[in-house]
Structure 1
Amino acid sequence: MSEKLHIIPHDHKIKKADRIAQKKHKPTILWFTGLSGSGKSTLASALEYKLHQEGINTYILDGDNIRNGLNKGLTFSDDDRQENIRRISEVAKLFVDAGIVVLTAFISPFKEDRAMARSMVESGEFIEVFVDCPLEICEQRDVKGLYQKARSGEITKFTGIDSPFEAPENPEITVQTHKLSLDESVDQLFKFVSKQIL
């Protein structure tokens, strides 16, 4: 007999609709995807600051931060990358249920994983933000020194070098951080996102 048969979710009195009514904005996952160095974390942080100033309840789930805690036991193999995104998707889903706008900044290189994350919430509660920046620009930035390590073989299975990045085909919004300043990028995102959540 499966142990899952003994797991019975509790039906709590306060529902997502009650939390939305209290917070006066729609909960949403803003899923930032793009190459390392494209500006995902920087953009998510700047957008969160602007949303917070407008009274929007937010939280950021950032790749490196999550791998220091919740997912610290995972490697960068394809299977562990998928498990990394699965766990993040489940956590993001909880934030949506809590009535919060959650910003996730992960490379999340595989389309299948991003589709799985989208499927966990209701229609309209997932905004895929493609932080589009060419590989050569990301390498020039190399803010963490990771590309240099990947090129030298010190790091393997690195997205964009010896592991693929499957670019989104139909993201809700694309931000080209190599063409726009941070302020311009945030303004573009804020105008789009505010229409979806307010």
Structure 2
Amino acid sequence: MGQNQNIVWHDTTIKKEERQKRNGHKSCILWFTGLSGAGKSTLANALEQQLFRQGKASYILDGDNVRHGLNKGLGFSDEDRKENIRRIGEVAKLFVDAGTVVCTAFISPFKEDRDRVRELVEEGEFIEVYVRCSLEACEQRDPKGLYKKARAGEIPSFTGISSPYEEPESPELIIDSDKLSVEESIETIITYLKENEIL
């Protein structure tokens, strides 16, 4: 389907740079990717808590939560997963334009989809955080009981079991969540943000 010829982009008067200046920091997407149970949501929430305490403009887009509203009705087929990530990418881009540090926690198993989101924003505004954790450790954690269901054949197309996960090839950050504590992980991310002059 082509773009409707009657829809024209309207430039806003207030620019992203002005919002960033008012907030006292740059905006970006921290894209937490990894297997189910790796700790993406835990880290995104802990990071946002710290940013909030520091008075930074931040927000979380979490995979499960977004599927309750914006992406309600999307399943877990490859096509639906792609559309899920496409929509999230567009929403995350709006948050960057609003001068906000947005933390997204999505399995986002396909490299192509993550790369497509990266292309939506300027260089340096997409920070891929690979929350690396062995499948064995994720299965042991199994906070939602999903691996157990997947092994029993109750969940088709489950990432890591019956559907592939494409590891990031050159993420900005790798967090080994089965080795680092949440505090150590957050410290690593904050250090990165400061070194790259986002905070």
Q: Which TM-score band (shorter chain)? A: over 0.9
In the alignment, the residues of structure 2 paired with residue 23 and residue 126 of structure 1 have an alpha-carbon distance, to the nearest angstrom, of 19
Structure 1 position 11, deviation (Å): 1.8
Structural RMSD (CA): 0.9
- Are 1:19 and 2:19 an aligned pair? yes
Match in the other structure for 1:43:
43
Q: Quick one: which amino acid aligns to residue 4 of structure 1?
A: N
In the alignment, the residues of structure 1 paired with residue 187 and residue 22 of structure 2 have an alpha-carbon distance, to the nearest angstrom, of 26
Structure 1 position 195, deviation (Å): 2.5
Structure 1 position 3, deviation (Å): 6.0
**What does the per-residue CA deviation read over 1:52-104, in whole Å, with 9 as the maximum and x for residues that have no partner?**
11221000000000001100110000000000000000000000000000000
Q: Quick one: which amino acid aligns to residue 164 of structure 2?
A: P
In the alignment, the residues of structure 1 paired with residue 104 and residue 128 of structure 2 have an alpha-carbon distance, to the nearest angstrom, of 10
TM (norm. structure 2) is: 0.97
Q: 1:36 to 1:25 in 2, by over 3 A?
A: same
Match in the other structure for 2:184:
184
Match in the other structure for 2:62:
62
In the alignment, the residues of structure 2 paired with residue 3 and residue 128 of structure 1 have an alpha-carbon distance, to the nearest angstrom, of 29
In the alignment, the residues of structure 1 paired with residue 23 and residue 142 of structure 2 have an alpha-carbon distance, to the nearest angstrom, of 39
Give 1 or 2: higher helix fraction: 1
TM (norm. structure 1) is: 0.97
**Number of residue pairs matched?**
197
In the alignment, the residues of structure 2 paired with residue 194 and residue 31 of structure 1 have an alpha-carbon distance, to the nearest angstrom, of 17
- Are 1:92 and 2:92 an aligned pair? yes
In the alignment, the residues of structure 2 paired with residue 121 and residue 191 of structure 1 have an alpha-carbon distance, to the nearest angstrom, of 22
In the alignment, the residues of structure 2 paired with residue 87 and residue 125 of structure 1 have an alpha-carbon distance, to the nearest angstrom, of 17
Q: 1:153 to 1:170 in 2, by over 3 A?
A: same
SS in 2 for 1:45: helix
Larger deviation, residues 183-192 vs 107-116:
183-192
Match in the other structure for 2:144:
144
In the alignment, the residues of structure 1 paired with residue 182 and residue 163 of structure 2 have an alpha-carbon distance, to the nearest angstrom, of 28
Q: Which sections of structure 1, spanning at least 5 residues, go unmatched? A: none
Match in the other structure for 2:7:
7
Match in the other structure for 1:157:
157
In the alignment, the residues of structure 1 paired with residue 76 and residue 10 of structure 2 have an alpha-carbon distance, to the nearest angstrom, of 35
In the alignment, the residues of structure 2 paired with residue 166 and residue 20 of structure 1 have an alpha-carbon distance, to the nearest angstrom, of 33
